[in-house]
Chain A
Amino acid sequence: MNRLIALGFALLLGFGATAHATEYKIDTAGAHAFIQFKIKHLGYSWLYGRFDEFEGRFNYDPKKPEASSVEVTINTASINSAHAERDKHLRGKDFLEVDKYPKATFKSTSFTPKGDGKAELKGTLTLHGVSREITIDVTEIGGGKDPWGGYRQGFHGTTEFALKDFGIDYNLGPASRTVQLILDVEGIAQNMM
């Protein structure tokens, strides 16, 4: 009996400990999350594409935002730039080499609130077999109850990096050496207080 009570307390404490930082599952099932990129074409226009398959989770507590963390895994073969021949090229040896590197991951290392709903998210991006630290400028878009009994929280983020830094050095021209990522994620709370 005593052991049962002890277990009950332990469980309560356990829940208490996680109650502050709510864990969210990124809503890829309902497609309320987008990993998009844009890169200049010849320096004359922006080309947009996205990764259709990924999954991820984040922890966020509005009272303690600096403790936030996020982890995302992308299926690199799911790249989609609305042109099959181009996508085939992007999956091949000149770019992502998806046979060799089927996953890209991002794992946060720090989250620094800058006030006014803005923050700086640092973490390790592993892409094309190369791991490097990147910084994502984050804006909190909103959060609250959804109409179906759940709780959601969403963010917008942008970052930019040189393709060469990740070992992708196919020459697309001087205006197309860097790619911008445009990230929009909505998480569904998995453990509300």
Chain B
Amino acid sequence: MPLKNTPQRYGWLSIALHWSMAIAVIGMFALGLWMRDLSYYDPWYRDGPFIHKSVGIILLMMLVLRVLWRASNIRPDDAPSLKTWERITAHLTHLALYALLFAIMLAGYLISTADGRSIEVFDWFSVPATLHGLSNQEDIAGEVHEILAWLLMAIVAVHSLAALKHHFFDRDNTLKKMLGIAANPATPTSAQKEDR
């Protein structure tokens, strides 16, 4: 599999970033929801937030890499069977996912650094506070973090259902492009076959 994207499919770096971030983001949502109700004596009371913050910072670095990689790389062509509204909504959904991920991570950072403390990333390195000491910063950032996380999950659902719809109902190569099993030009996809 090539490193870079080709007109037929995503390269392995895009695929690796997409799926590892997908798993991590959904895991982070579940962890975030769950850890808020832990009792003080729960063994996860400290580890839950520690892992959540550490993974969050790593996800932010991956997101920056991903956006840079996307900007410096071609995008595989959309399946030719896609209707105009499908192209537009798909691309708007992608933009919304990037924007929401960035906003959620920024809000999360502003919660934990509201008092000037830095965020420890797995005892590996720490990220210092920048903007801190705003009045009720941790509360406002917390509300934003939570609301946007729910909104992100709604958009993730739209994105995932659309991918499954294209794979199972339209039988085009939309999902295959991101699975790395999409056909190269020698083996046309079912959608391309139907076009002939």
Contacts and interface: CB of A to CB of B under 8 A. Distances in A.
Interface stretch (A18-26, A123-131, A167-175): A167-175
Contacts of A170: 40
Interface string A82-112: 1111011001000000000000000000000
A18 B83 CA distance: 83
Interface in B67-121: 111-115, 117
Contacts of A85: 49, 111-112, 114, 138
Contacts of A91: 139
A170 B39 CA distance: 8
B111 A88 contact: yes
A87 B136 CA distance: 10
Contacts of B113: 84
B128 to A, nearest CB: 14
A171 B41 contact: yes
Interface residues of A, number: 12
A188 interface: no
B39 to A, nearest CB: 6
B144 to A, nearest CB: 13
A88 B115 contact: no
B115 A82 contact: yes
Contacts of B111: 84-85, 88
A77 interface: yes
B39 A171 contact: yes
B180 interface: no
A179 to B, nearest CB: 15
B117 to A, nearest CB: 7
Contact of B114 (A77, A84, A173): A84
B49 A173 contact: no
From A77, A84, A91, name the one whose CB has the most chain B CB atoms within 10 angstroms: A84
Given A84-B111, A84-B114, A84-B117, A172 B136 contact: no
Contact of A84 (B39, B49, B115): B115
Interface in A115-173: 170-173
B138 A87 contact: yes
Contact of B40 (A77, A83, A171): A171
The 7 A-B pairs of least Cβ separation, nearest first, read A84-B114, A84-B115, A84-B138, A88-B138, A172-B40, A88-B142, A88-B139
Interface of B: 39-41, 49, 111-115, 117, 136-139, 142
23 contacts: A77-B139, A82-B115, A83-B115, A83-B117, A84-B111, A84-B113, A84-B114, A84-B115, A84-B117, A84-B137, A84-B138, A85-B49, A85-B111, A85-B112, A85-B114, A85-B138, A88-B111, A88-B114, A88-B139, A88-B142, A91-B139, A171-B40, A171-B41
